[in-house]
Amino acid sequence: MAVPRPDQHARASRDIAALHDARPASVAEQPNMRSGTLLAVTGIGLVAASLAGIAVASRGGNRPARAARYAAWGSALLAGSVLADSAMEHYRGNFRRKEMFAAPVVAAGTLATALATAVTSRATSYKAALFGGTIATGLFGLGFHLRNILSRPGGLSWNNLFYRAPFGAPGALALAGLAGVGAVAADRADRRERLGQKGHGRRAGYGLGLFTAAGLFGLTAEVGLLHFRGAFHDKLMYAPILALPFTGAAIMAATADPQPRRRSLARKSLEATAGLGLVGTGLHAYGVSRNMGGFANWTQNLFQGPPIAAPPSLAGLALMGFAALDLLDRHGKDPSHGPR
Amino acid sequence: MSTVVSDAQERIRATGGRAPNVFRRGEWVPMKQYPENEAVDFVIVGTGCGGSVLAAQLAEAGHSVVAFDAGAFYRPLEDFASDEREQEKLYWLDERISGGDHPIELGSNNSGKAVGGSTVHFQMVALRFRPEWFTSRTSLGYGHDWPVDWREMWSYYAKAEDAMKIAGPIRYPWGPKRGRYPYREHELSASALVLAKGAEAMGVKWCGTPTASLSAPRGEAHPCVYRGFCKIGCATNAKQSMLVTFVSKALKHGAEIRDLAMVGRIEVGPDGRATGVHYHREGEWRFQKARNVVVSGYSIETPRLLLNSACPAHPDGLANSSGLVGKNLMVHVNDAVWGIMEEEIRWYKGPPSLAVCEHWNYEDEGKDFDGGYAFMSQGPLPTDFATSLVSNEGVFGHELRKWMSHYNHMAGLKMVGETMPQETNRVELSDETDALGLPIPKVSFSYCENDRKMAKHAERFQGEMLRAAGAKSLYHTSSTAHLMGGCRMGDDPASSVVDAAGRSFDIDNLFVCDGSLFPTAGGVNPSMTIVANSLRIADRIIAMARRGDLH
């Protein structure tokens, strides 16, 4: 059986002793904030950003066009989702890099700007610049996340795609920025159309429609990857990966050739997608409850997932799509005024 | 010194028409019960990878089944503690005599005493045999051929993996293409990344270990929380042990489980056929009549029961006309190399063996030995690790404390190496008896030259990989794990104990179904092979019954 080998023992002991003296300092692995505190801070951030946005609005200005309002609310929903999700996930990653603070901070700023955009037409250039910053942050985030994935043994492996920084997540921040830019553009286009400059509404609708479709396809990949990681253990997990690309195709079709039937199909599928976002939030909450300890152990299980903050982004994208459809309704083929 | 208030070991729980509900604290599920004086279709001795699988499948096919286990019927959620000493209750620590040149340490690494068998505390490594191993004599020139085609076995592996919702990698880098594992692989732990880093530095393939722990919810079982106490019993039910899979299924289909019931002898009638079993429960010996008896007690208890059931018609023990009952006992060489990493590893987190390298199972060039070995990343709990330090390195006191202070920076690679079947490695009955008056088994084990060469090869290779990953102050420990063989299955009554259906060549209503059937050990953890083989045997028995070939 296990027989000690004296020679080896002596050698190893010497090495150990040497190493013992130069023992590496332990890394601070545990977050220095309690999860309860983090969630409170995140909640306060959401409320503060919303209040800031509304404060800007309370100082007057015109009410933006309906398409702009849709897109702005979409941007706000996406930004709120990113704020909650990134605050939690980056906290889970101990904010190991300073850059990790960027996501929740920029998301909060975007949320405030988006809410301001939804209620007033003032300061559009500043807003557009801020949303541009959001897009840039999202794109940088994609780079950081990709680097994080590639830095681990296995590189671009399934394991790293499943468990390292989620590749698609910063894309949601970029989408929030795009929806914001879209909102500003829609408002401007609406004003020009009213001044009789034709074509601007059509172009803005076209842009918003394409961004929505791109977002839906991107989200399909992200949801598909993560639901695949969950082995589609619940058949309902197939719903978004069937619904999102269909909606994406429908909005693409309506954008490319905005005839009434296509617009109507796109609207219906967007409504279904928005509904799925709400249902999904509930289902993710149910998923959290299935972890050991359920909601009684919420400080662990909210992090364990599935992320409750993720599905609302579906509704955010749907709102962006509604904005596109509103513009296409009024400025595309066979214009109508859409449902009031 | 019990840290959990549990009466599972003192009082029978599966009685009064109900059995513990393993998914709920304090709750029960209904259980069918059978009278002792009416013969049931099948009595099954043992509820591990062999017995519980058979019980579930046979009950599902409509047979009346009573399955016995000497161990307790636990509810993991309430009966398991995060305490290594407390959880020793899951090991079979009854007295045994262990001899030979390299006596096996019997307990944690190779036995279980609980409903669900040793899967209640196994490390959940869910690997398949290499196809060639099923014909190792004809294809590779050592050991014995299995009486089963590898494709048949591989189709049953897929069924076993689905039944246990194995979390495995999308692409398995060795062997023929296999279907997708039902659940996705777990995130790699820091300890698994050490293997990955070393393997990539050496240009050797590696992958995430297929693991019998849930990576997503399944019914009432929670997904893994990476608590890391797997090896002493999973308290969240993420581990897909037999207790939460096939035992539950068996109960649902009308099988009866009798916990804390030690079967001591199989009764044989005047016609030389089995008529039932004598078992000890609640302080007395009782008898259960049966039309067929299946022994699923693993490599020591199965031969022990067969040998102890000797009678005038079968003076050398049951099913022993070949004289091979108890012989060709095999273990896995479980030697390891350990080292200290610069970075913090905290290897106790998560399932202990999340990365695997099967390179030397599939590569035949560059080996000076027969057979193969796999090795995995490690994550021993503190007591386990300190014990191995004391027994292997002889360190103690301040010295031991110093070594243990590196615990959070340690990493290790441990092999599962195939030993050769040898007739001299065997289980016999000793003259001594235990508290129930049953003869204590005597286990003899010695490594052969081939086994030692493999261990040397692995020590060198694992050391090289660990060093390539950046580990310093390497050292080596020896031990064994798992048991295989003792009741070899085969096609020839002269050279095997049972046939490919697990049926005795001597007594047509006596079956063996567990790890003791293995003709060769294979270089992978045996649990999935036992489950797959049991599913296969179940199908064969069900087919026999339909044909009218059964009693």
Model confidence band, residue B377 (pLDDT cutoffs 50, 70, 90): very high
Mean pLDDT over residues B69-94, rounded?
Answer: 94
- The answer to whether the CB atoms of A159 and B188 lie below 8 A apart is yes
Q: Residue B351 has what pLDDT?
A: 96
Mutate to test the interface with B, among A8, A19, A150, A159 (most CBs of B within 10 A): A159
d(CA B413, CA B404): 18
Mean pLDDT over residues B170-183, rounded?
Answer: 96
Mean confidence (pLDDT) of chain B: 96
pLDDT at A214 over 60: yes
Q: Which of A147-156, A188-197, B536-545 has the lowest mean pLDDT?
A: A188-197
pLDDT at A216 over 90: yes
pLDDT at A7 over 70: no
DSSP-derived secondary structure letter, B253: T
d(CA B116, CA B99): 28
ipTM of the complex: 0.92
Judged by a CB distance cut-off of 8 A, whether residue A217 touches chain B is no
- The answer to whether the CB atoms of A2 and B406 lie below 8 A apart is no
How crowded is residue A69: how many other Cβ atoms within 10 Å of its Cβ?
A: 21
Q: Which of A125-129, A181-185, B261-265 has the lowest mean pLDDT?
A: A125-129
Q: Quote the percentage of chain A above a pLDDT of 90.
A: 63
Strand-pair partners of B476 = B337
pLDDT at B243 over 50: yes
Helix, strand, coil shares of chain A, percent, nearest 5, are 75, 0, 25
Model confidence band, residue A31 (pLDDT cutoffs 50, 70, 90): low
Q: Residue A282 has what pLDDT?
A: 97
Domain boundaries, chain B: 18-547
Model confidence band, residue A49 (pLDDT cutoffs 50, 70, 90): confident
Q: Residue B394 has what pLDDT?
A: 87
Mean pLDDT over residues B6-29, rounded?
Answer: 95
SS3 B444: strand
Contacts of residue A152, defined as CB under 8 A and 6 or more positions apart, other chains included, come to: A160, A164, B188, B193
Q: Which tokens in the block code for residue A127?
A: 């807003």
d(CA A265, CA A270): 9
Query: pLDDT, tens digit, for every residue of A240-271?
Result: 999 999 999 999 999 998 888 999 999 999 99
Model confidence band, residue A6 (pLDDT cutoffs 50, 70, 90): very low
Mean pLDDT over residues B48-58, rounded?
Answer: 98
B374, amino acid identity: A
Domain boundaries, chain A: 37-49+59-331
Judged by a CB distance cut-off of 8 A, whether residue B384 touches chain A is no
B310, amino acid identity: A
Judged by a CB distance cut-off of 8 A, whether residue B391 touches chain A is yes
Q: Which tokens in the block code for residue B343?
A: 């970075």
d(CA A244, CA A168): 15
Q: Which CA distances in Å does B69 have to A24, A166, B110, B279? A: 49, 47, 17, 10
Mean pLDDT over residues B76-95, rounded?
Answer: 93
With beta carbons under 8 A apart, name residues in chain A contacting B405: 20, 23
- The answer to whether the CB atoms of B343 and A300 lie below 8 A apart is no
Contact B47, B247 (CB under 8 A): yes
With beta carbons under 8 A apart, name residues in chain B contacting A19: 340, 406, 472-473
What homologous superfamily is domain B18-547 in, according to CATH?
FAD/NAD(P)-binding domain (3.50.50.60)
Q: Is B429 left (phi over 0), alpha (psi -120 to 50) or beta?
A: beta
Q: Which CA distances in Å does B252 have to A21, B18, B59? A: 59, 11, 9
Q: Residue A87 has what pLDDT?
A: 92
Tell me, rounded to whole angstroms, the distance of Cα B207 from its chain centroid.
Answer: 23
Query: pLDDT, tens digit, for every residue of B192-228?
Result: 999 999 999 999 999 999 999 999 999 999 999 999 9
A154–chain B nearest CA distance, Å: 8
Mean pLDDT over residues B293-322, rounded?
Answer: 97
Model confidence band, residue B109 (pLDDT cutoffs 50, 70, 90): confident
How crowded is residue B86: how many other Cβ atoms within 10 Å of its Cβ?
A: 18
With beta carbons under 8 A apart, name residues in chain B contacting A158: 169-171, 184-185
Nearest chain A residue (CA) to B344: A26
Contacts of residue B321, defined as CB under 8 A and 6 or more positions apart, other chains included, come to: B493, B505, B506
A202, amino acid identity: R
DSSP-derived secondary structure letter, B137: I
Contact A331, A194 (CB under 8 A): no
pLDDT at A337 over 90: no
With beta carbons under 8 A apart, name residues in chain B contacting A304: 223, 225
Q: Residue A47 has what pLDDT?
A: 81
Burial class (CB in 10 A: 0-12, 13-18, 19+), B390: middle
Number of A/B CB contacts below 8 angstroms equals 111
- Chain B, 110 to 129: residues with Cβ < 8 Å from chain A are none
pLDDT at A5 over 60: no
Q: Residue A330 has what pLDDT?
A: 85
Strand-pair partners of B520 = none
With beta carbons under 8 A apart, name residues in chain A contacting B185: 158-159, 162
Contact B486, B427 (CB under 8 A): yes
- The answer to whether the CB atoms of B406 and A159 lie below 8 A apart is no
